[in-house]
Amino acid sequence: MLKFAGFGFAVAALGVISVAAFSAWYLHRLGQDLPDYQQLAEYAPPVTTRVYAGDGSLVAEFARERRLFVPIESMPDHVKYAFVSAEDKSFYEHTGIDMRGIVRAQLSNIGNVMSGRRLEGGSTITQQVAKNFLLTSEQKVERKLREMMIARKMERAFTKDHILELYLNEIYLGNRSYGVAAAALNYFDKALTDLTIAEASYLAAITKGPSNYHPIDHEERAVERRNYVITRLNEDGVITDEEAQDAKSQPLGAVIAPPLGARDWTMEYFAEEVRKQIVDLYGVEALYDGGLSVRTSVDPEMQKEAGEALRKWLVEYDQRHGWRGPLSEIDVGGDWAETLDAEVERLRDARKVTDDMAPWRAAVVLSVSDADARIGFPDGEEAFIPVDLLWWAREYISANDMGDAVNAPGDVLTPGEVVYVEKYEPATMPKKDPDAEGEGRATPENAYALRQAPAVNGGLIAMDPHTGRVLAMVGGFSFQMSEFNRAVQAERQPGSTFKPFVYAVALDSGYNPSSIVLDAPFVAPSLDSWYKPGNYIEGRHYGPSTLRLGIEQSRNTMTARLAQDLGIGRILDYVNRFNLSEDLPRELAISLGAGETTLTRITAGYSVFVNGGKSVEPVLIDRIQDRTGKTIYKRDQRECAACNAQYWSEQSEPQLADTRAQVMDPRTAYQITSILEGVVIRGTAARTVGGKSNKPLAGKTGTTNDYKDAWFVGFSPDLAAGVYVGFDMPQTLGQGEAGGTVAAPIFADFMVDALEEEAGIPFRVPSGIRLVRVNARTGRPAGPGDSNVILEAFKPDDQPGADRTSDDFSLDPLSAAPTTNDAPDDGLNGLY
């Protein structure tokens, strides 16, 4: 028996030694290819690039992982300890591994296996850092052992605070949030330092599974888990009983953050343009992972006003031309709400229904009667469209033709049609005859108006004319439907908005605003035929007219005759200073806007008129800082050593150099400004712009052949803005749909809102300008009894009322004849 016992003991001892030897060998092998944990000493995670407006508000975020890095020293104690209490209460005591936690987890796993739930690992915060940074999430014994080995090494290499900093900046907390700082913003729109105990506890509560504690889908479960963390904080002595009770009484208050990108629909085109510029400057990696801080020029309030003005008047134009039909059709039998919900998702994929169209909603027509159409929404809610809100919806036939008048909803809608609708808020309904006396009937409850996304599109841009800083940019009706930015990318003929540049050449070449040019039928040679422009009213001419009237009334034939006198070569040389286009055609038709430009370029060109003749370059980005706060890009490169003085010792105010190029005589610039102000007061924009604002405004309408493009570009003393409206595939807007009808109202609405709080200062008059009372029609000095009198701007050598003679120029009238762009310069301004 002793021999048998001795043999058994020897075998057991040998087994123990073998297991120990195998374990040592196995652990040694695992330790040979452990990831390099030392890299965590210089932790630089991918961080969100944030784009800010000029007032510091957030415009957009760009990232692959939404994360903001915050040093542990800047984190409030109640945030740090919320996670410690929830995840690893002995974090500051153990050396990387908590054996009691492991045993507790294995006991819990007995029940987890039986119920099919996910297994627990009993990992400490240090182990989680090792797994998240250096290993995978696979549930294998080998991975767990490697995790434990790395955790022990990390505990010896790093401080506890450094490990906790890694954990709190890396952990995924749902809602596209990586790290606690991003989660604080995404769930509560707060900085970490502003989180309450209850809010910090919720963030700590969702580490086990963010989707399980979704603040909207599982609010009750989320509150219960949050309160559990609050209890743990209290038990660990981090907060008092009173603080715990108060925190538990708070509502959850968490929300779901908007997607990455622009934070508001009005900002989407602007944010996308900024995104492109950052990529051009620093590349894709810097944009999405670099944690850049980008300060832009945009004014959020002005941007909102621009977006709303453009949308309002595009819808107004669209409704003038009738109803083009529903988005789609479905079967409204059975569970129509479920069918509609699936159809709306299909329409989203096709970019026909988008989130940025809110408050418009997709609905299905359930039934129609003589009085209204009953509609339903994907959530099962029902409402109706009164016939009073359908008067506009005559059938669209063409840009110039519509179907019969609407007498009943059935003339427009059919059950099963999916359409856009909007809650109708006004107190009274529109009248079928707008000119009829009295008001429409009272708006019934739960009434919706029929809507359709306009087929036409457009853009609006506003900038500081003195610096070129873009204050608002809207590139279309809906970014989510079409990302094409019509304010920047659309190259179209500007029509009559080009005329002020031609007249500026004349004013710098011996003409003055009262100079007379003949408005009469005009013919000139063209490349392959004869060029015969006409006025807006075909066959109508006005005889001898002043230069001022040529712009105010947008006279085509007199502009072409003026351009012929000046010579196309002279005009092109002058206009190229304004950077309107890379390649303007060398032909007389450019005087009426036959060349192509973009809305941004021509608005910057108009800025030169109001800023005293200085060239400006449109800019969107003022400054860029890297993740450490170092400025790596600055728009304004001017140096100002005196600006950094720490004390005032009666020194004079620092003066910054004006580095803008002078591209035209400031006196000429003011003369054009004064004439363009006349366009708004007496000319083609008097009704649509001048009649809506009591602030000094100037500008010019523009319309191209067959009414394909409508423009208005103008300015106040300190704000320039341009509007373009047209179809992406050029086609007529319809008879009479000119710049003054289609684009000018958008400009007027925007400027009225943008300048509401601004003082109505007059346009600045430069030195060297004489203001003389003249007859507005003849341009001659006004007599005592004249009623149609204006103050005209003259240079010192100008003679009010004096006729030009042929001796003023030695130009051949055929100098306007075009040549090809590569023709040799013969010094004759394009003469054949």
Mean pLDDT of all residues in 295-305: 97
3-state helix/strand/coil string of 58-120: EEEEECCCCECCCCHHHCCHHHHHHHHHHHCCCCCCCCCCCHHHHHHHHHHHHHHHHHCCCCC
Helix (H, G, I), strand (E, B) or coil at 451: strand
Q: What digits encode the pLDDT tens for the residues 565-614?
A: 999 999 999 999 999 998 898 889 999 998 999 999 999 999 999 999 99
Q: Which residue has the tokens 């507005």?
A: 776
Helix (H, G, I), strand (E, B) or coil at 236: coil
Q: Which residues contact 88 (CB under 8 A, 6 or more apart)?
A: 98, 101, 124, 125
Statement: residue 631 has pLDDT above 60: yes
Q: Which residues contact 192 (CB under 8 A, 6 or more apart)?
A: 70, 74, 75, 76, 79, 180, 181, 184
Question: For 181-190, 421-430, 534-543, 760-769, which range has the lowest pLDDT when averaged over its residues?
Answer: 534-543
Mean pLDDT of all residues in 652-679: 93
pLDDT band at 815 (very low <50, low <70, confident <90, very high): very low
pLDDT band at 110 (very low <50, low <70, confident <90, very high): low
- Which residue blocks in 140-218 are alpha helix, DSSP H? 141-157, 160-170, 180-188, 197-205
pLDDT band at 818 (very low <50, low <70, confident <90, very high): very low
Q: What digits encode the pLDDT tens for the residues 56-77?
A: 999 999 999 888 899 999 999 9
> What local confidence, expressed as pLDDT, does residue 169 receive?
92
Mean pLDDT of all residues in 16-29: 58
| Residue predicted with more confidence, 106 or 313 | 313
pLDDT band at 332 (very low <50, low <70, confident <90, very high): very high
> What local confidence, expressed as pLDDT, does residue 529 receive?
78
Question: For 107-111, 201-205, 318-322, 683-687, which range has the lowest pLDDT when averaged over its residues?
Answer: 107-111
> What local confidence, expressed as pLDDT, does residue 537 receive?
74
- Which residue blocks in 528-659 are alpha helix, DSSP H? 547-552, 556-566, 568-575, 599-610
Is the C-alpha dihedral spanning 10, 11, 13, 14 positive or negative? Answer: positive
pLDDT band at 115 (very low <50, low <70, confident <90, very high): low
> What local confidence, expressed as pLDDT, does residue 245 receive?
95
Q: Which residues contact 416 (CB under 8 A, 6 or more apart)?
A: 329, 330, 331, 332, 364, 365
> What local confidence, expressed as pLDDT, does residue 538 receive?
75
- 618, 608, 594, 619: which is closest to 491 by C-alpha? 594
> What local confidence, expressed as pLDDT, does residue 90 receive?
85
Give the separation between CA 415 and CA 395, rounded to whole angstroms.
17
Statement: residue 36 has pLDDT above 80: no
Mean pLDDT of all residues in 155-165: 88
3-state helix/strand/coil string of 585-610: CCCHHHHHCCCCECHHHHHHHHHHHH
pLDDT band at 807 (very low <50, low <70, confident <90, very high): very low
3-state helix/strand/coil string of 656-714: CCCCCCECCCHHHHHHHHHHHHHHHHCCCCHHHHHCCCCCCCEEEEEECHHHCEEEEEE
Question: Within a 13 Å sphere around the CA of 83, how many CA atoms are in the beta-carbon half?
Answer: 25
Q: DSSP character for 10? A: H
Statement: residue 9 has pLDDT above 70: no
Statement: residue 726 has pLDDT above 90: yes
Question: Within a 13 Å sphere around the CA of 569, how many CA atoms are in the beta-carbon half?
Answer: 18
Statement: residue 809 has pLDDT above 50: no
Q: Which residues contact 48 (CB under 8 A, 6 or more apart)?
A: 61, 62, 63, 65, 66, 67, 68, 182, 260, 291
Statement: residue 832 has pLDDT above 70: no
Give the separation between CA 256 and CA 269, rounded to whole angstroms.
23
> What local confidence, expressed as pLDDT, does residue 197 receive?
95
Give the separation between CA 747 and CA 693, rounded to whole angstroms.
11
pLDDT band at 155 (very low <50, low <70, confident <90, very high): confident
Mean pLDDT of all residues in 477-506: 96
> What local confidence, expressed as pLDDT, does residue 43 receive?
79
Mean pLDDT of all residues in 412-426: 96
Structure tokens at 667: 């006196």
Mean pLDDT of all residues in 465-489: 97
Q: What letter represents residue 529's amino acid?
A: S
Give the separation between CA 327 and CA 360, rounded to whole angstroms.
13
Statement: residue 141 has pLDDT above 90: no
Helix (H, G, I), strand (E, B) or coil at 613: coil
- 185, 166, 161: which is closest to 175 by C-alpha? 185
| Residue predicted with more confidence, 822 or 806 | 822
Catalytic residues: 87, 496
Question: For 78-92, 388-402, 811-825, which range has the lowest pLDDT when averaged over its residues?
Answer: 811-825
Give the separation between CA 408 and CA 386, rounded to whole angstroms.
9
> What local confidence, expressed as pLDDT, does residue 154 receive?
83
Give the separation between CA 92 and CA 370, rounded to whole angstroms.
75
What does 705-770 look like in DSSP terms, one character per residue? Answer: GGG-EEEEEEEETTEEEEEEEE-SS-----TT--HHHHTHHHHHHHHHHHTTTS--PPPPPPTT-E
- 83, 81, 82, 127: which is closest to 101 by C-alpha? 127
Question: For 69-78, 189-198, 432-441, 720-729, which range has the lowest pLDDT when averaged over its residues?
Answer: 432-441
Q: Give residue 680's region: left, alpha or beta (phi > 0; psi -120 to 50).
A: alpha
User: Residue 306 in contact with residue 472, Cβ under 8 Å?
Assistant: yes
β-bridge pairing 49-52 and 293-296: parallel
Asked, as a colleague might, if the bond just before 781 is cis with ω within 30 of 0, I would say: no
Give the separation between CA 160 and CA 151, rounded to whole angstroms.
12
β-bridge pairing 631-634 and 621-625: antiparallel
State CA 309 to chain mean position distance: 14
> What local confidence, expressed as pLDDT, does residue 810 receive?
35
Structure tokens at 664: 């035209």
Q: What digits encode the pLDDT tens for the residues 337-381?
A: 999 999 999 999 999 999 999 999 999 999 999 999 999 999 999
Q: Which residue has the tokens 């989660």?
A: 183
Is the C-alpha dihedral spanning 673, 677, 682, 688 positive or negative? Answer: positive
Statement: residue 418 has pLDDT above 90: yes
582 burial via Cβ count (<10 Å: 0-12, 13-18, 19+): exposed
Statement: residue 829 has pLDDT above 60: no
Rounded to a whole number of angstroms, the CA Rg of the chain reads 36
Mean pLDDT of all residues in 100-114: 61
Give the separation between CA 215 and CA 201, rounded to whole angstroms.
13
Statement: residue 26 has pLDDT above 60: no
759 burial via Cβ count (<10 Å: 0-12, 13-18, 19+): exposed
435 burial via Cβ count (<10 Å: 0-12, 13-18, 19+): exposed
Q: Average model confidence (pLDDT) for the chain? A: 88
Q: What letter represents residue 776's amino acid?
A: A
Q: What digits encode the pLDDT tens for the residues 192-250?
A: 999 999 999 999 999 888 999 999 989 999 999 999 999 999 999 999 999 999 999 99
Question: For 42-51, 107-116, 469-478, 749-758, which range has the lowest pLDDT when averaged over its residues?
Answer: 107-116
> What local confidence, expressed as pLDDT, does residue 825 receive?
39
Structure tokens at 277: 């510029």
> What local confidence, expressed as pLDDT, does residue 114 receive?
59
Give the separation between CA 495 and CA 509, rounded to whole angstroms.
23
Give the separation between CA 785 and CA 813, rounded to whole angstroms.
39
Percent of the chain with pLDDT over 70: 88
> What local confidence, expressed as pLDDT, does residue 819 receive?
40
Q: Which residues contact 629 (CB under 8 A, 6 or more apart)?
A: 293
> What local confidence, expressed as pLDDT, does residue 803 receive?
58
Structure tokens at 484: 């094409």
